Amino acid sequence: MNTSFVNSTDAPQAVGGYAQAVAVDGARKLLFISGQIPVDRAGHVPASFSDQARLAWCNLEAQLRAAGMSLDNLVKVTVFLADRRYGLENRQVRQQVLGERSPALTVIITGIFDEAWLLEIEAVAAA
């Protein structure tokens, strides 16, 4: 499988560690990951946004591992934030988790199913 970043010069450039588009050639497996929530196996929800974000990313990574994949296989990520005030902190945690990886990305400000959750992360991966 080959992935390549597509960033048209006819549109605004991506800022903050993501690609405007990701092309996937030769994938044999696609994984569609439902929204991962900031809840641990015991049902605990951390209080701070950054702790919730790290936990949601850990839960997403667990789904990737269960499918024999890793963060390297991510091609599209959608983050749902409970409030726009978490935008910068969300970017910081995402960049810490993803490092140099740059999947296509959308961040949506919306109501979340449980009021205790400050974010939810869904993704698509390819291998």
Beta-strand (E) ranges in 7-71? 21-25, 30-36
Listed by start position, the domains of the chain span 2-126
d(CA 71, CA 95) in angstroms, rounded, equals 12
d(CA 76, CA 84) in angstroms, rounded, equals 21
Would you say domain 2-126 falls under CATH 3.30.1330.40?
yes
pLDDT in tens, 68-98: 999 999 999 999 999 999 999 999 999 999 9
The model carries a pTM of 0.90
User: Closest Cα to residue 100, out of 74, 120, 65?
Assistant: 74
* Per-residue pLDDT, 63: 97
Mean pLDDT for the chain overall:
94
d(CA 77, CA 60) in angstroms, rounded, equals 10
Which residues is 21 bridged to in the sheet? Answer: 6
